[in-house]
Amino acid sequence: MGEVDCVFCKIVSGAIPAKKLYEDDAVVAFDDAHPAAPIHFLVIPKIHVDTLDDVGKEHAPLLGRMLVVAARLAREKGVGATGYRQVINCRKAAGQVVYHLHAHVLGGRDMRRMG
């Protein structure tokens, strides 16, 4: 499992503590350490995949699982009815900082403007 220096792999393994919002055999969700909105959490796969560009058709069920978990947690956090944003940044120019595939879920404020 995972890359030795990957912070998200260390969260998955328990080497770095995180307040997990959800966990199953495929994904983990936890609050973002640097939130950009009142509701801001991440959904990550337990397997290490660097970027969205590195997924193949074999990852389709995993990507679907990530989206289902993100929507469920958004509803549980009270932003399902008002609206939320899901973002997957891919590489540096798009703002990816941690090279382990992850989806940001943001809500609790007007998200109609970027940023």
How far apart (Å, rounded) are the C-alpha atoms in residues 4 and 29? 20
pLDDT for 101 beyond 60: yes
Q: What is the pTM of this model?
A: 0.93
For domain 7-107, the CATH class is alpha beta
| Catalytic (active site) residue 102 | yes
pLDDT for 93 beyond 70: yes
pLDDT for 59 beyond 70: yes
Using the CB atoms, write b or e for 18-51: b if 16+ within 10 Å: beebeeeeebbbbeeeeeebebbbbbbbbebbbb
Nearest in space to 49 (alpha carbons), one of 90, 20, 16: 90
Catalytic site residue from 34, 40, 100, 102: 102
pLDDT for 21 beyond 50: yes
pLDDT for 68 beyond 80: yes
How far apart (Å, rounded) are the C-alpha atoms in residues 16 and 8? 8
pLDDT for 19 beyond 50: yes
Mean pLDDT across the chain: 94
The predicted pLDDT at position 113 comes to 72
pLDDT for 112 beyond 60: yes
pLDDT for 1 beyond 80: no
Segments of the chain assigned E as strands? 20-23, 27-31, 39-45, 84-87, 103-107
Strand 103-107: give its sheet, edge to edge: 20-23, 27-31, 39-45, 103-107, 84-87
The predicted pLDDT at position 2 comes to 53
Q: Dihedrals φ, ψ of 27, to 5°?
A: -135, 160
How far apart (Å, rounded) are the C-alpha atoms in residues 44 and 22? 10
Domain ranges within the chain, ordered by starting residue = 7-107
